[in-house]
Structure 1
Amino acid sequence: DAAGARAVLADPQAYAAEVRADESEAAQLGASGVPFFVLDRKYGVSGAQPAEVFAQALTQAYGERAPLKIVDGGEAGGADACGPDGCAVPQR
């Protein structure tokens, strides 16, 4: 809403704590410039890199992820647990 946007723009401290937290997190992840890409909150790719570097980083990050845990929502192995109106939580 316009009034809310104006209030934030008029207050130099609005969201300052959130921005400082983001800056701190970026520094902890190793970001020292832009662009900087974080993959799975574990890997960082700094700067404009060739596609091969991104492919290697994505492959490594994906390979180290924990496997998905399927929530069994019924006879279809969970396939009927979610629909256009959201996800049903099975009653036990």
Structure 2
Amino acid sequence: AELGANGVPFFVLDRTYGVSGAQPAEVFTQALTRAWGDRSPLKLIDQGEAGAQACGPDGCAVPQQG
């Protein structure tokens, strides 16, 4: 109700935006783009240290516990 839902279908995006009713794809594209843009930007860790581990395109290496 806080987002203006008064019928179905009603879509909630990121617990912030609501899209009411059967809307054209362009409306969903705009809403998703706005919700994504409002998210906090990705924060990268310092990758400058020698020997630092990072994830690659094939995933992350998880050390086995001895």
**Is the pair's TM-score, using the shorter chain for normalization, greater than 0.5?**
yes
Under TM normalisation by the shorter chain, which class is it? 0.5 to 0.7
* Structure 1 stretches lacking a partner, 5+ long: 1-26, 84-92
The whole-number CA distance in structure 2 between the counterparts of 1:67 and 1:46 is 27
Would you tell me which structure has more helix in proportion to its own residues?
1
TM-score by length of 2: 0.65
CA change 1:51–1:69 in 2 (3 A) is same
C-alpha displacement of 1:30? 1.6
CA change 1:37–1:82 in 2 (3 A) is farther
Higher relative contact order (CA 8 A, sep 6+): 2
Which residue does the alignment assign to 1:28? Answer: 2
Which residue does the alignment assign to 1:8? Answer: none
Higher Rg of the two aligned structures = 1
- Residue identity over aligned pairs, in percent, reads 69
Instruction: Find out whether 1:67 has 2:41 as its counterpart.
Output: yes
Aligned pairs for 1:1-92 within 5 A: 27-70=1-44, 75-77=52-54, 79=55, 80=60
**What count of residue pairs does the alignment treat as equivalent?**
55
